[in-house]
Amino acid sequence: MNTDGLHGMGEYPPFVNEPLGDFHDPARHRSFAEAVASVDAEVGAQWERPITIAGESIFTGRWVVSTDPNHPSRVVGRVASGSGEDVERAVVAAETAFASWSRVPVADRVAAVHRVSSLVRDRRDQFAAAMVIEAGKTWGEADADVAEAIDFCEFYLRDALRLGGPQPVAHRAGTSNRFVYVPLGVGVIIPPWNFPLAIAVGMTMAAVVTGNTAILKPSSLTPAIAARFVDLCAEAGLPAGVVNFLGGPGEEVGMGLVAHPRVRFISFTGSREVGELIYRTASVVAPGQKWLKRVVAEMGGKNAIVLDETADLDAAATAVAASAFGFGGQKCSACSRLIVVDSVHDRLVELVIERTKQIRIGDPRDFNNDLGALASADQKRTAERYIAIAHEEGKVVYGPGVPVPATGHYVAPHIVTEVASRSRLGQEEIFGPILSVIRATDFDDAIRIANDTDFGLTGAVFSRDEARLARAVEEYQCGNLYLNRKCTGAFVGVEPFGGFNLSGTDSKAGGHDYLLLFLQGKSISTPTT
């Protein structure tokens, strides 16, 4: 949608999702291919960006080096790496900016976020091309990432207008009463590498539009995309210190920010291990700290698609392959477990293998490829370790011998049957292209197995039995449940996203509750007599 030039209370049209790109259209295909070639020529060891504190660009002499996962010897860019001293400087800068930014009228903050959204839209192909190269995303995955970033901006700026004025309160004779929301303070934004633009933009703009200031600590795998976004924030006219940019080692910079006594909240998306560490660290009230820190965390899942004997097996097989192997399974929403009732188990596995065989593996610069390399050497090693476990815990029915490019962090999709629910394959988040198939005796058993995990992010159920679908709504414990469709691909404003249990704090990104996580309520009462 185009809302250029609109600003102020009530002047934005109703939210609609940004349309996804159609690369089968010759003109659209050609323009994006040109963008990929242009960004490919631009990046390299010479592409450098500083940390940014209070609007000042600082080259520290230390670097976070980003490489192309499909060609690991090729440097994509270098982003300056900060230190503990820079942590203190960034907090001071954000704290100073908060004093004024928190008092900026909501309509002006909204207009600033709208400028960010418009600039992202204007450079949609450049951002998406950068993700093809730095994150290894296919054209469609990269374009959808940018569209989601735009959606987050547009959805949150409208919700900020809704929350920015006095909220309804009951009337009481003899008093005049108001209830308003006020910003929290300095926030730390720690996004993941798998959605390096959408989630970074969504978490940062949610904090900013509600009057907070932010310190963005990018993933060390995709710092260049985050740096491009920070450049854009300055171009959009966000005041110095509202968005600060500080890359560096997680142990020193990331945890240093989390532990800082003048940080008010942390917004994190990533692994369970790191999320739990952040939660523990943030829970400690340090000397000089005046609040309990708020942690907004999304920490992954062990998502399952459940099928009963009434399901449309062809539609289910297509959805399973897409959910399990899209972007190499490197999505917190990816299907990691396929739970199938015994009577249709063998036929469904055959169909999933057929669909998986159609996946074309190779450099995502080529539109015809469906699956690129995994994000890093560590990701590849982890996947290979679980493949070895798969040969011990189950029966590997697809994957070995599938050809992949010799250069790059490539791992072929693997399908493993005869997996036990309480095995490592049945319980641990892999974040790679490995699908564990678990046999269930009936629908009751399938739902029990689906809930037999510490996580609760996404899930799907395929069935033609309406009573069973209704039961799944009541009994399947996950934050995002999909009926007769794949378990990935939530749309902002349509399917608010966040999980139960150790999948995080169920923050529901892209929903009407989300901005409340960056605000606190204030009640004002005055006698009228």
Task: Enumerate the active-site residues.
Answer: 298, 332
How many C-beta neighbours within 10 Å does residue 467 have?
9
Q: Which helix (H) or strand (E) holds 178?
A: strand 175-183
- Cα radius of gyration (the chain): 23
Name the token pair of 321: 């392959």
Rounded Cα distance between 326 and 328, Å, is 5
Name the token pair of 515: 């901005």
Q: Which residue has the tokens 């700290």?
A: 289
Q: DSSP 3-state assignment of 80?
A: strand
CA 383, 389, 390: angle at the middle one, nearest 5? Answer: 85
Which residues on adjacent β-strands are paired with residue 176? 526
Name the token pair of 423: 């095995």
Give yes or no for a contact between 500 and 506, defined as CB atoms under 8 angstroms apart.
yes
Classify residue 387 as exposed, middle or buried by CB count within 10 Å of its CB (0-12, 13-18, 19+).
buried
The full DSSP string for 465-514 is: -HHHHHHHHHH---SEEEESS-S--PPTTTS-B--SGGGBS---BTSTTG
Residue in 288, 108, 93, 105 with CA at minimum distance from that of residue 188: 93
Rounded Cα distance between 301 and 278, Å, is 17
Rounded Cα distance between 2 and 12, Å, is 10
477: Cα separation from own chain's centroid: 21
Q: How many helices (H) and strands (E) does the chain have?
A: 15, 19
Q: DSSP 3-state assignment of 115?
A: helix
CA 486, 295, 88: angle at the middle one, nearest 5? Answer: 125
